[in-house]
Every structure is written in structure tokens, then in C-alpha cells.
Amino acid sequence: MFMKKGFQISVVALMLFIIPGCAANYNQVMKDSENMFYYGQYKEAARKLLPAVNRSGKDQLLFMMEAGMMLHAGGDYENSNKVLLEAGKLADRIATSITKEAASLFLNETTTNYKGEDFERVLIHMYLGINFLMLNDADSARVEFKRVNDLLRDINVTTGKTYKQNLMAKYLTAIAFEIIADRDNDYNDREFAYIEYKQIYELDSRLALVYRDLQRLARGLNDMEDYNTWVGRFGKRDNIPANAGELVLIFQAGQGAVKVSRGPLLSDQAMAGGIRLSLGGMPLKEGVTIAGVLGALRIAENPIPRFQKRSNRVDHLVVNINGMDVDRTYLLEDIETTAVKNLEDDYKRLYMKVAAGIAVKTAAAVGAGYAAKKIAEQSKQAGGYAGLIGTIVGAGVGAGLISQIKPDLRCWHTLPANMQLGRIFLPPGEYTVTVKYCDASGNEVQNSEVNTLVVTKGKKSFYNYRSRF
């Protein structure tokens, strides 16, 4: 009977701390499907996620992205697009509803709708575009690839970040323009493709893959001044067989980076210094000290995660035609490096805001615990139990803080480490094509794939490969 008004308030406060920690763990739900995916059971993995895909909730966007990727890897491009089109709409709605980046949000983002990292939202449209290419719908593919780089520009403008244009999207945009130009005999679409190739060269002049395309398109547009410039710069690269068809190889290598904890909050010198600085610049209530606040945070986790790279044994594909190695794939989009750099840039930009939010919240919680103890001490009914009440409330404050200050480790788990492209022009006919999965030294690191393919005059045939380890 002794714990009346003061202790009841503390119980309510403790409940507010603990309830958010009861949220379902996305990573636990994903575990079985992810294991199935990386063992090549793509469609089965997607099927296991369907209930979560169709159920609204804070993790629905993630489940949509994962299921869309699984169906894509399984070659079910039509159903992959059905899922990813809805994911794109949901990502836009969630992003629009977040009007500001509140530092307090980082204390426990797992209780909020997952809005997707910037690069993840962009890649939804990348995969939509690839799906459309695989479905022979170049017009829709072009729209989605354009959306990739339009989104990147919007993000740069609205956030001040410095994302580069996505070379994979630009290359596939150019290819889509070429397909449409061939179909409609349209000079303008061919010129648009040429503009894309020139922009790719400006973005990465070392990319040898683009040299031949610059020469091809300059000649195709009868721009001999440009053509001679490119030949003088790179040597002649456009020795393409007459009436050739083309194999376009899209390669997605390895396992993408995933979020992991940075570890204890106070072990990070930048964050610990930010918290001390914030505490030193704010008025502290009775019973609240900097040492006391830091003590309450001693086993809390850093709420801003980091991306950690995973397995990627395959450096590139080598393409063998009728027993002869003829070309390889080239890396155009390094997804894992983008993920790591992105979050590190965010950390440098946000850690002081997050530190300030933690300092304010923790000081308030410690102050509430001290106030509860004082109330108990002033209560005649508490008697000798005031110290026990203070201990209980202090423990509650510690447990509450730990439940609220933790990293949000949700992310798109089935992304590859990088995306590559290969282009091979061949005379019309039937070929035995062997695709070799090679490391950086050219050694094969997994079984090659052998197919018999028919090349048709003036047509582009797309092939989509994925390594999982």
C-alpha cells in the first residue's frame, strides 16, 4: 500500500519505455526466406513472404522489395513487377509523409514505417526496368531507368547529398533507346541513345565498354566528325560483324551489404563526445549529473547502424563462344560500396543531432527516476522503502533507455553486391555460349553455365545472371 501516486507514475513511465521494444523483428521474419533465396530456391522464398507482402504494417515495404527481388532472380519478371510497382508507390507515399529528419527518430526507428535507404528506393526502379527489358517492353523499361536518375537528382537537391548518376541505369536507358530506334526507324531515339553514351563517358572515361558504343552510334548517326574523334582517342573499336545480333548480359554479383550495430554507444568517441557536449550546454534538473546520465547509457547501443559487406567471390563473368573466350562483363554499379559510404556520410552529418536527442531524453529519464525517489522519501507510507523504490525506478529507467536506444537493422537483404554488363555482337546463327564465373585473377570460382543460343539479325537478346556467394 505504500507505493501510491509517485510509484504509479514511475510504472507508467516504465511501460512507455518497454512497449516499443515488443515490436516484431523484421530480420527474424526474413531469416528462413533469405536462407532459401541464397540456396537458389527463389520462388519458394518469395512464396513464404507473401502473407507479409499483403499485410500492411511498418515492414511492408521491405517485404515487397525482398519478394520482388526473389521473383526477379527466379525469372518470374511479370509477378516481380507487380510487387515492385506497388513497392515503388508505397516508398513514395512513406517518403512524402516524412517532412523532416528528426534526430529523436534515431533512438528507436524499428517502431516506424521503413522508408528505405535512398539507394534502395532508387533500385526498385532499376529492377522494374530490368524486368521490363526481360519482358521485351523497352518503352516501359526506358521510363523506369529514367526514373532512377531523376530520383537521384531529386535526392541530391532535397538532402544536399552527392549521389552520382547510376551508370547501369544510364547504360540500359541507352540500350532501350536503341531498341526503340531500331523498331521505329527513329533518328531521334538513336540520338538520345548516343547522348546517354556520351554522358556515361563523361562520368567514367575509363569505362572501356562505352568506347565501341560511342563509335557505333556516331557512325550510325553519320556524325563522322565525332566518329573520327572517338577513333583517334581509343583506336578503332567498332569492328562489328555485318547483320549482327547482340547478346546483352546483365550480371548481379554476390550478396549485398547489410546493416549491423556499431556497438556500445559510448565506445564511439564522436558520439560520446557529442553527448557530453550536449549535456554540458543544457540545464540539468536536481539530482541529474553528467556522470549519472553517462552511467545510465553505459550498455546502450549506438542507434545509428553501419553497413557491412558480405560475400562476393565472383569478380566478373567471362563469356566463351563456341570454345573461345570473347569478352567479359564490366562493373557499372557498386551497390555495396554505395551503401557503406552512404550511411557513413549520414553518420557524420547526423551524429551530433542524435547525440543531442539522446542527451535530452536520458537526462529527462534520470530526472524522472530521481523525482520518483524524492516523492517516495517524502511519503510517510514509504517508510524505509524509499531507497528500494529509487533502485527499482533506476533499473526501470536503464531498461527503458536500452529498449529505446538501439539501431534499426532493417535493410534490403537480397540485393547483390554490384551490377555488371556485357555486350557481344555476333553474326546470325546458333552458338554454344559458356558463361564462366571468375575471380579477379580470372580463375573460375563456381560452375560455369552452358547454353545454346540463337542470334538474330539486328535483335538484342537479354540474359540475366546472379551469383549468390
Question: Tens digit of pLDDT for each residue in 294-305?
Answer: 988 988 999 999
pLDDT at 298: 87
Give me the pLDDT at residue 393, please: 56
Q: How confident is the model at residue 89 (pLDDT cuts 50, 70, 90)?
A: very high
Report whether pLDDT(386) > 90: no
Per-residue confidence at 7, pLDDT binned at 50, 70, 90? Answer: very low
pLDDT tier for residue 383 given thresholds of 50, 70 and 90: low
Q: Which of 103-117, 157-171, 244-258, 267-281 has the lowest mean pLDDT?
A: 103-117
pLDDT number for residue 396: 58
Asked whether the predicted pLDDT for residue 102 surpasses 60, the reply is no
Percent over 70 (pLDDT), the chain:
84
Confidence of residue 29 (pLDDT cuts 50, 70, 90): confident
In a domain, 219, yes or no: no
Instruction: State the pLDDT at residue 2.
Output: 34
CA distance 378 to 399: 26
Q: For cell 550511411, what's the residue?
A: 343
Cβ count near 154 (within 10 Å): 14
Residue 454: helix, strand or coil by DSSP?
A: strand
pLDDT classification of 80: cutoffs 50, 70, 90: very high
Instruction: Give the up-direction half-sphere exposure of residue 403: CA atoms within 13 A in the CB hemisphere.
Output: 19
As a whole-number percent, the residues of the chain with pLDDT over 90 amount to 72
In a domain, 399, yes or no: yes
**Average pLDDT estimate for 438-451:** 95
pLDDT exceeds cutoff 80 at 8: no
Lowest mean pLDDT among 26-30, 101-105, 134-138, 438-442: 101-105
Q: Is the pTM of this model over 0.75?
A: yes
226 in a domain, yes or no? no
Q: In this structure, is residue 232 part of a structural domain?
A: no
Asked whether residue 393 is domain-assigned, the answer is yes
> What is the mean predicted confidence (pLDDT) over 164-179?
96
Exposed e or buried b per residue across 14-49, where buried means at least 16 C-beta atoms within 10 angstroms of its C-beta: beebeebeeeeebbebbeebbebbbeebbbebbebb
pLDDT in tens, 313-367: 999 999 999 999 999 999 999 999 999 998 999 899 889 999 999 999 888 888 8
- Amino acid identity for residue 253 in this structure: A
Per-position DSSP letters for 10-78, written without gaps between them: HHHHHHHHHGGGGS--HHHHHHHHHHHHHTT-HHHHHHHHHHHHTS-STTHHHHHHHHHHHHHHTT-HH
Question: So what's the pLDDT on residue 398?
Answer: 54
Q: What is the pLDDT of residues 173-209, one digit of tens each?
A: 999 999 999 999 999 999 999 999 999 999 999 999 9
Which stretches of 137-257 are DSSP H helices? 138-159, 167-184, 187-203, 209-220, 224-234
Residue 217 lies in a domain: no
Please report the pLDDT score of residue 22 as a whole number: 38
**Residue tagged 551508370 (cell numbers):** 167
Beta partners for residue 320, in sequence order: 325, 434
d(CA 160, CA 330): 30
Quick one: pLDDT at residue 299?
85
| Cα(377)–Cα(52) distance, integer angstroms | 50
Computed on alpha carbons and rounded to an integer, the radius of gyration of the chain in Å comes to 28
Domain-located, residue 229: no
Give the model's pLDDT for residue 414.
Answer: 97
Residue 234 placed within a domain: no
- Cα 176 from Cα 185, distance rounded (Å): 14
The confidence band for 406, taking pLDDT boundaries of 50, 70 and 90, is confident
Q: Which domain holds residue 50?
A: 5-207+240-466
Q: Which of 103-107, 279-283, 369-373 has the highest mean pLDDT?
A: 279-283
Phi-psi region of 259 (alpha: psi -120 to 50; beta: other; left: phi over 0): beta
CATH number reported for the structural domain that contains residue 329 in this entry: 1.25.40.10
Query: H helices of 304-405, where?
Result: 335-378, 386-404
Q: Average per-residue pLDDT in the chain?
A: 88
Q: Which pLDDT score is estimated for 375?
A: 64
Domain count, the chain: 1
